[in-house]
Every structure is written in C-alpha cells, then in structure tokens.
Chain A
Amino acid sequence: MRLLSHNMLSSNIKGVTNGFPLRIEAEKVVVKQVDLNVRFLKNMFPKIEWKALVEASRTMGYAELPEEVEPSKLDSRDFLQKFHHALLELVLEEGALVCPETGRRFPVSKGIPNMLLHEDEV
C-alpha cells in the first residue's frame, strides 16, 4: 500500500465520526521506484491531506517532507521529488492501519489492506 492510498482511506466502522487518518503500524516498509510524473503530482496535490501524509511518511521512516506547504512549492523540483517519494514510492508491505477513534486494527498483508468489517461493525 502506497501512502496515496493511506491518504484516501478512513475507518469505515459504523458510528465512527473521526476515522481519518488511520494510524500506521509499520512492520515492513519497502521502497519501490516509480517514474516521476509532474502532471499527476500537481493534479493530486490539492486533494492530499498534507498533515496526514507528513505523519504517515514519518512513521514509515521518511522525515523529509516539510510540515507546512503552499502550492507555490510545486515549482521546486526538490519538493516534487520528496512529495513523489512519500506519496508513491514508500510501500507498507506488512503492518496495520488503526482506527483513530476505536483503535480497531485493519491488517495490511503483502501490501494489501483488509478493510472488511465484522457483522457488528457495519
């Protein structure tokens, strides 16, 4: 699971109102190289919850993202590289996503999060 997916996932348990962002428990993180696509990054930037991405990338061992950003940053190649790396190249292979409200763990195995709910959670 890339952090772009993490940025798009929330806890789906019934009754939970503050399900975002899911806390990451990282057991195994890998880096997979992806071609840099400036247009895609510029398109995605306004949709990204920045604080969640900063926090998630830290948990995955990458601390290069600035705490605050303005759109003008997108003109900097150096910034784009870092954004790209955090968003698309850091992969959570094994671990879990934890609901911030209830503490319920959604396991991530072989890079795939399991968001299936139990009957009493729907």
Chain B
Amino acid sequence: MSPRTAQIRLVSSHREVYEPCDDSFALVDALLADQANLLRHQPKLCLELGCGSGYVITSLALILGKEGHYIATDINPHAVRVTQETLEAHGVHAELINTNIASGLETRLAGLVDVIVVNPPYVPTPEDEVGREGIASAWAGGENGRAVIDKILPVADNLLSEKGWLYMVTLSENNPSEICLQMREKGYASRILVQRLTDEESLQIIKFWRDFDSQLEEKEMAENKTVPSRVMESLLSQFPRMPFLRGNNSNSS
C-alpha cells in the first residue's frame, strides 16, 4: 500500500529552499484530518501556492490519489525544481510553474480550482525583506506577516471554483480572525482544522469554503455596514483570545 503522505527521506532539498517544518506538518495533518471530505469532494484541479520542497503537494497527491490534476507554483526557481524531484521520488505528478503567486494562470484558471493549499511566508518582518531572492522569501511576511497573505487571498478567491476549498496556514500574529472576517465578506465560511503551539509559534490551519449562508450575509453586511452578530459569535468561539474581534464586537453590538 502506498504511504499516505510524503516521506521525509524522499523529500529533496537545496540550501535555498524551505525544508518541511512544523507549519508544513500541521498543514498536511489538516489535509489528513479532512481526507474523507476531500475524497468525497473529488477535486479535479488542485493547486499549491508556494510549494517549497514539495512536501505538501506530494502529500496531497498521495492522499487524493490519481484522479485529479495538480499544479504547484513558487517564486523561488530552486523550489520548483526541488518539488519536481520530491514528486518524482514518490511517483506522483504535479505541473510546476515558477511564478509570483499564480501570475500567468489567473485569466484561464479563474473559477476552475477545487482545492488550493498555501503555507505562505507568514513571519512578521520589516516590509523590505518580503520577496527578496533566496530563502528569506520563504518566511518574510512584512507587517503582521500579512504582505504575501493579503496578495494571495484575492487570487485564491478568483481561482476557486464554485465548490472550491482553500487550506491556509496562519500564525496568531497574522490576525487570523480578521482574515476570516475578510473572507466572510467575500462569501466564505471558515473553520480551524488544526491548531498547533510550538516553542516559538502558535499556528492555525484554516479551511475556507464558499458558503451560501455567508453570501447572504455578504449582502447584509454591504447593506448595513456591520457584521451580523451570529457571524461574530461563530468567529469568537473559534478565536477566543483575539483582541481584534473583542474590540470590533463591542462596537457592533
């Protein structure tokens, strides 16, 4: 029987490519936890943005089997090559594109992607460290670690199909509750699949999906310019210690 996720000893590496780390493992754990749903979902096109070593896209291809078609991008030319090697070592395939987020794919791939996975550069850093050559671009996320995340979200929204799902890694410093709220305004529901506290980081893996109820809310929010209280309640229950939400909630009630 084939292994369910990529095996570390078969993951290729390069000194300028991000090695699988706690965040990568947490993302794959979330995919495993959601495996039954993913299999029922029968995604045709799956995309990873920022594939690094290829650990995640390889695991996704192993989890889902050969039914679907996989595409992975990275801004780092070494990363797409390393990902190619990792995929080959596991006998699976993904199409690789060396590009900024999904630049070049956005016109034709709009509305076609059923699953997007992203472990973005999320570490808060000075703005000018974002997008530099080499390994620093693997983690440097600018103010609140949001520089690249905030570019990825509208792209993901454009690429996802009607039934599309997005799995994304965030750090508490990224203000994930605010991200969920922004996505809510675009018509997405969200849920934290995995939370992980490491020595240095508090990580969340959040799943987003297009949700009919939240599309109604989107209208409501546009008309009233406030967040419906039931939305606030569901977000609050997931992010109990988020200062952003507390403040906002007391304003709107």
A12 lies within 8 A of chain B by Cβ: yes
Chain A residue numbers with a CB within 8 Å of B77 are 114, 116
Shortest distance in angstroms between A104's beta carbon and chain B's nearest beta carbon?
Answer: 12
Partner of B100, one of A35, A39, A116: A116
Shortest distance in angstroms between A92's beta carbon and chain B's nearest beta carbon?
Answer: 11
Tally of contact residues, A, Cβ under 8 A: 30
Look across to chain A and name the residue whose beta carbon is closest to the beta carbon of B99: A115
| Docked CA distance A2–B98 (Å) | 15
Chain B residue numbers with a CB within 8 Å of A35 are 66
| Docked CA distance A47–B107 (Å) | 12
A59 lies within 8 A of chain B by Cβ: no
Look across to chain B and name the residue whose beta carbon is closest to the beta carbon of A19: B107
**Judging by beta carbons under 8 Å apart, are A113 and B100 in contact?**
no
Look across to chain B and name the residue whose beta carbon is closest to the beta carbon of A37: B67
Look across to chain A and name the residue whose beta carbon is closest to the beta carbon of B73: A115
Look across to chain A and name the residue whose beta carbon is closest to the beta carbon of B98: A114
Given known A9-B104, A12-B104, A116-B98, contact A110–B84 (CB-CB < 8 A): yes
Given known A40-B67, A114-B98, contact A9–B105 (CB-CB < 8 A): yes
**Judging by beta carbons under 8 Å apart, are A43 and B105 in contact?**
no
| Docked CA distance A11–B103 (Å) | 9
Given known A4-B69, A12-B103, contact A116–B75 (CB-CB < 8 A): yes
A24 lies within 8 A of chain B by Cβ: no
A-B contacts at CB below 8 angstroms, number: 72
Partner of B103, one of A8, A49, A111, A117: A117
B32 lies within 8 A of chain A by Cβ: no
Look across to chain B and name the residue whose beta carbon is closest to the beta carbon of A88: B69
Interface residues of B in 70-115 (CB under 8 A from A): 71, 75, 77, 80-81, 84, 93, 95-100, 103-109, 112
Chain A residue numbers with a CB within 8 Å of B66 are 35, 37
A31 lies within 8 A of chain B by Cβ: no
| Docked CA distance A50–B18 (Å) | 38
A63 lies within 8 A of chain B by Cβ: no
Partner of A5, one of B44, B71, B84, B106: B71
Shortest distance in angstroms between A1's beta carbon and chain B's nearest beta carbon?
Answer: 7
Partner of B112, one of A34, A47, A49: A47
Interface residues of A in 97-122 (CB under 8 A from B): 106, 110-117
**Judging by beta carbons under 8 Å apart, are B96 and A111 in contact?**
yes
Chain B residue numbers with a CB within 8 Å of A5 are 71, 95, 97
Closest 7 CB pairs of A and B: A115-B104, A115-B99, A12-B104, A8-B108, A114-B98, A12-B103, A5-B95
Starting from the known contacts A7-B108, A114-B99, A115-B100, 6 additional A-B residue pairs (CB-CB under 8 Å) come to A37-B66, A37-B67, A47-B112, A106-B104, A112-B84, A112-B98
Sample 21 A-B pairs with CB under 8 A, ordered by A number.
Answer: A2-B95, A5-B71, A7-B108, A8-B108, A8-B112, A12-B99, A12-B103, A20-B108, A34-B93, A35-B66, A39-B67, A40-B69, A44-B44, A106-B104, A112-B80, A112-B81, A112-B97, A115-B97, A115-B103, A116-B75, A117-B103
